[in-house]
Structure formats: C-alpha cells, structure tokens
C-alpha cells in the first residue's frame, strides 16, 4: 500500500514539475497550435478522408509536445504558419477568387512566398550558411560570430523550406482539387524534405552540445542536396506540380515518406560527423608517420561529392553539363581545402567523445524512424499491390540500408563499437543510403519508379 502511494506521489510530482516548467510562451504556443488545428479542420476538412482527419488531430498534441520539448521549434512553427497563411491569403484577389496567376503580380508571392520563390531562398540560405560555417572554422577572433551567423542562416533556410512546402501544398489545390496533395511525392519534393530535416536535426545537436563547429561538415551534405535540387529544377523543370499516380493516392504516403526521410537525413548527418571524426583522428598522426592511404577518408568524401555529377551526365553535351562541371570543380576544391587544412580543422572540432556520441545518436534516431517507415511501407504495399513485400529494387535496398544500420547498432551496444571503425562504417553507410535514395531511381526500375531522373 505504501509503495503504491509513493509511486502515485512520485508521478504527481513529476507531472507537476513538467507543467511548472512551462512559461507563458509555451502556453500561448499550445493555444495557437490547438486553434490552428481547429482552423485547418474547419477550413479544409472537406478535402480530407477519415484517416487524414485522424492524422490532423494527432498532429496537434504532437506539435505542442515538440514545441515544449525544444522551444526554437515552437518559434519556427509559429513563423512558418504565419507566413504560409500570408501567402495563402495573397493568392486571393479582391473579388474573393484565388488563382496561381497572382504569384506573378503580388510582390510577396513573386519574390518571397510562392513555393518556388521560398525554395530558391532556401537554397541560397543553405549555401550561405555553409560558407559562413566554414569561414568560422578559420576566422581568427571572429570564429564564434561567423558560426552564429551560419546557424541563423540555417534556421532561416529551414523556415523558407517549410513555407515553400506548405504553400506548394495549397498551390496544388489551386490547380485542381484532384491535383492537390502533400508535397512529398517526387524527387523534387523529397529533396526539399531531406534538406530541412537534415539541417533541423543538426541544429538540435548543435544546441544540445553547445558547439557550432560541426556545422561546416553537416551543411556540406545539405548543400550537395541543394546543388542536385537546383539542377533538377533548371534542367528537368521538376518544380512543376504534377498529379499523383494512382498508387500514391493514399494517406499512407503522409506517414511513410516523412518517416523515411528522417532516417535518410540522420544517416547522412551521422556520415558527416563520422567524416569529421576521421579528419580529427588523422590530423593527430605525427607528420613523419603519415602515409597517403591514411588520408583515404578525405578522398572518400570527394568520391561521394563528385560521384553524383558523373553518373547523372549521360553525354558531354547533355543539358546542364556546364553546371555539373562547376559542381565537380567546387567539390574538388572543398576536398582539397579540407585535405590541406586538416590540422586547423581538427583543432576547431569538438572532442572525439562528442563526435562519437552525436554519430551514435543520429544513427539511433534514424534507425528507429527508418524501421517505422519500412513497416508503414509494407502496410501500404499490401493495400496498393496486394502483398507486404515483393522484392522490388527499392524494397530490397531499403532492407540493405536497414540491415547495415541494425548491424552498426548491434556492434555498438553489444560489442562496444567505437572509434575509427564505427566512423568508417557510418561513412560507408552514406554510400549505401545514397544508392537506395538515388541510385535505384537512376539504374533500376520497379514499382517505386516515381522519381525518375
């Protein structure tokens, strides 16, 4: 009896402590989240089926919890909601009619808040963030200021990515009720998703470990993704909103794809942290003991950065060939610069223990969500194609990715995997993940061929 009473008292104390830590902003945010959810339900409920309404209702407490868990997310959500509503309102003229043509005449839409404008701003801000993080790596006396600016630009880029995503969702319905869909259905849309998710997880770790030194490495993979996105936009005109193919007209897509890309984003982040770990380790070797093969981690990054343009160019005269030549040159300069300045870079990085911990937590989070995504994908496949698993190339490579990180985590937890072996494994995981993400679309075909190049 006493044990039960003590447990009850402890539970009440824990709950009281949790809610007592909420400040006025937290409660205002909770009210705004509930009001926003109710508004969306009342305004757009007619376009939703029962499952989608359930997702919306579940999203309200989830948003409140996320905002309370990490207050910068609450600020981000309020800002994104406000600017998205401004954009949506701007599409409606004085006569009460809404139309896409206003994107070329309304100042805010034309230059900032239409989906394409917002995503282009996202691209520029991510590039600028990467540059300032790297300036901070070498700036004497101004390192903290440059890295702080890089971090703020990354936050702004995430905000513009989310605004672009929300407005694109609305724009689809402006084209036609049967065209509108959540923008996670093709390579263009999921690359935007990948960029902001990877950056957001990095920014969380940046705040948790109170170091911005990893931003220079984390933003490299985001900038590489932005580089692909710009090529895909300019040459393939992938930014145009297209109707969904029948198999994608399912509420499962709203759950499966975001969960999948949390996995992809955190795996990519873990790989970049692993690369930083290896740079720090190699820089600690005395000059007279260094050998060319000990710098292989740096060369591996060069292969990852430069592999994409080589495989995407089918001929030397293909449209966009000059773009990829510039991309290749910048990648080579980045790799060469890291190789040349490895000692200075290593001195600026956090301790090996911090790098190892961030790498582990990134993989652990990614593995959990990738597992959820795989299970959801199997359920979706059963509904769409009549079977949970068909050994489609995308499914097969998803299984390979899952097994790779399951083995990494098993060795970490059961055998104490640490150090360079763990880092090498995580870095090679980026190659496996990249092929599952892009390589399958380029070289293989199957039931998942929705994002062809």
* HEC letters along 125-155: HHHHHHHHHHHHHHCCCCHHHHHHHHHHHHH
Q: How far apart are the C-alpha atoms of 335 and 253, rounded to whole Å?
A: 37
Phi, psi angle pair for 253, to nearest 5°: -60, -35
pLDDT for res 10: 46
98 beta partners: 92
Question: 201: how many CB neighbours lie within 10 A of its CB?
Answer: 22
Higher pLDDT, 412 or 16: 412
Higher pLDDT, 329 or 147: 147
Higher pLDDT, 218 or 101: 218
**What is the pLDDT of the chain when averaged over all its residues?**
85
Please compute the mean of the pLDDT values over residues 350-364 and round it to a whole number.
96
pLDDT for res 1: 45
Given pLDDT bands bounded at 50, 70 and 90, which one contains residue 385? confident
User: If we measure between CA atoms, which residue out of 320, 326, 301, 331 comes closest to residue 238?
Assistant: 320
250-259, 290-299, 380-389: the lowest-pLDDT one: 290-299
Read off the pLDDT of residues 155-210 as tens digits, 9 standing for 90 and up. Answer: 999 999 999 999 999 999 899 888 888 899 888 999 999 999 999 999 999 999 99
Name residues whose C-beta falls within 8 Å of residue 293's C-beta, 6 or more positions apart in sequence.
none
Higher pLDDT, 420 or 308: 420
Give yes or no for a contact between 60 and 14, defined as CB atoms under 8 angstroms apart: no
92 beta partners: 98
The burial of 9, by beta-carbon neighbours within 10 Å (0-12 exposed, 13-18 middle, 19 or more buried), is given as exposed
**Alpha-carbon distances, residue 347 vs 286, 303, 342 (angstroms):** 14, 25, 9
pLDDT for res 199: 98
Read off the pLDDT of residues 35-64 as tens digits, 9 standing for 90 and up. Answer: 999 998 888 888 777 888 888 899 999 999
Give yes or no for a contact between 402 and 372, defined as CB atoms under 8 angstroms apart: no
Q: How far apart are the C-alpha atoms of 185 and 257, rounded to whole Å?
A: 8
**Is residue 442 predicted with pLDDT exceeding 80?**
no
Phi, psi angle pair for 98, to nearest 5°: -105, 140
pLDDT for res 309: 52
User: If we measure between CA atoms, which residue out of 356, 367, 380, 404 comes closest to residue 262?
Assistant: 367
Read off the pLDDT of residues 70-117 as tens digits, 9 standing for 90 and up. Answer: 999 999 999 999 999 999 999 987 777 778 888 888 998 999 999 999
DSSP string over 10-48: HHHHHHHHHHHT--HHHHHHHHHHHHHHHHHHHHHGGG-
Q: How many CA atoms lie within 13 A of 158 on its CB side?
A: 22
Q: How far apart are the C-alpha atoms of 264 and 268, rounded to whole Å?
A: 6
Question: 446: how many CB neighbours lie within 10 A of its CB?
Answer: 14
Q: How far apart are the C-alpha atoms of 67 and 30, rounded to whole Å?
A: 8
pLDDT for res 300: 58
Q: How far apart are the C-alpha atoms of 77 and 392, rounded to whole Å?
A: 37
11-25, 188-202, 312-326: the lowest-pLDDT one: 312-326
123-127, 238-242, 251-255, 337-341: the lowest-pLDDT one: 337-341
**Alpha-carbon distances, residue 201 vs 14, 108, 194, 324, 433 (angstroms):** 27, 29, 11, 28, 17
Higher pLDDT, 69 or 320: 69
Q: How far is CA 11 from the centre of its chain?
A: 36
Q: How far is CA 264 from the centre of its chain?
A: 8
pLDDT for res 450: 56
Q: What percent of the chain has pLDDT over 70?
A: 85
Give yes or no for a contact between 440 and 402, defined as CB atoms under 8 angstroms apart: no
Please compute the mean of the pLDDT values over residues 1-24 and round it to a whole number.
61
**Alpha-carbon distances, residue 65 vs 19, 32, 73 (angstroms):** 12, 13, 10
pLDDT for res 297: 55
Given pLDDT bands bounded at 50, 70 and 90, which one contains residue 213? very high
**Is residue 239 predicted with pLDDT exceeding 80?**
yes
Given pLDDT bands bounded at 50, 70 and 90, which one contains residue 314? very low
Higher pLDDT, 325 or 206: 206
Residue count (the chain): 453
Q: Assign residue 342 a region (left: φ > 0; alpha: ψ between -120 and 50; beta: otherwise).
A: alpha
Q: How far apart are the C-alpha atoms of 449 and 185, rounded to whole Å?
A: 11
Task: Name the 3-class secondary structure at 288.
Answer: helix
Q: Assign residue 391 a region (left: φ > 0; alpha: ψ between -120 and 50; beta: otherwise).
A: left
Give yes or no for a contact between 190 and 225, defined as CB atoms under 8 angstroms apart: no
Higher pLDDT, 331 or 3: 331
**DSSP H helices in 45-142:** 50-69, 71-90, 107-108, 115-138
pLDDT for res 12: 46
Read off the pLDDT of residues 271-284 as tens digits, 9 standing for 90 and up. Answer: 999 989 988 887 76
Please compute the mean of the pLDDT values over residues 333-348 and round it to a whole number.
83
The tokens 């692909």 sit on which residue?
228
């Amino acid at each position: 009896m006493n044990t039960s009473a003590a447990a009850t008292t402890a539970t009440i104390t824990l709950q009281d402590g949790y809610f007592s830590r909420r400040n006025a902003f937290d409660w205002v945010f909770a009210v705004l989240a509930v009001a926003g959810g109710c508004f969306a339900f009342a305004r757009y409920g007619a376009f939703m089926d029962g499952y989608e309404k359930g997702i919306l209702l579940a999203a309200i407490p989830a948003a409140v919890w996320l905002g309370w868990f990490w207050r910068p997310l609450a600020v981000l959500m309020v800002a994104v909601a406000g600017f998205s509503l401004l954009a949506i309102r701007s599409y409606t003229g004085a006569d009460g009619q809404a139309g896409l043509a206003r994107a070329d005449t309304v100042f805010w839409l034309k230059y900032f808040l239409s989906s394409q404008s917002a995503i282009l701003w996202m691209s520029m801000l991510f590039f600028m963030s990467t540059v300032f993080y790297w300036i901070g790596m070498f700036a004497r006396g101004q390192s903290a200021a440059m890295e702080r600016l890089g971090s703020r630009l990354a936050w702004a880029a995430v905000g513009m990515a989310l605004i672009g995503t929300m407005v694109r969702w609305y724009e689809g319905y402006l084209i036609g009720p049967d065209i509108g869909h959540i923008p996670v259905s093709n390579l263009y849309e999921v690359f935007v998703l990948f960029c902001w998710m990877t950056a957001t997880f990095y920014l969380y770790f940046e705040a948790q470990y109170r170091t911005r030194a990893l931003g220079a490495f984390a933003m490299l993979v985001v900038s590489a993704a932005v580089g692909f996105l710009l090529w895909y936009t300019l040459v393939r005109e992938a930014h145009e909103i297209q109707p969904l193919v029948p198999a994608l007209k399912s509420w499962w897509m709203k759950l499966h794809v975001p969960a999948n890309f949390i996995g992809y984003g955190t795996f990519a982040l873990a790989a970049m942290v692993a690369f930083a770990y290896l740079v720090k380790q190699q820089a600690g070797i005395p000059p007279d003991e260094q050998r060319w093969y000990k710098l292989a981690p740096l060369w591996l990054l060069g292969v990852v950065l430069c592999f994409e343009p080589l495989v995407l160019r089918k001929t030397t005269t293909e449209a966009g060939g000059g773009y990829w030549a510039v991309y290749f040159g910048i990648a080579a300069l980045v790799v060469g610069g890291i190789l040349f300045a490895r000692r200075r870079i290593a001195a600026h990085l956090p301790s090996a223990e911090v790098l190892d911990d961030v790498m582990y937590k990134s993989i652990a989070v990614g593995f959990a969500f990738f597992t959820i995504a795989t299970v959801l994908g199997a359920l979706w496949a059963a509904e769409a194609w009549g079977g949970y698993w068909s050994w489609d190339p995308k499914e097969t490579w998803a299984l390979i990715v899952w097994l790779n990180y399951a083995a990494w985590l098993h060795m970490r937890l059961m055998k104490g995997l640490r150090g360079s072996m763990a880092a090498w494994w995580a870095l090679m995981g980026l190659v496996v993940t990249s092929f599952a993400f892009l390589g399958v679309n380029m070289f293989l075909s199957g039931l998942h061929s929705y994002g062809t190049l």
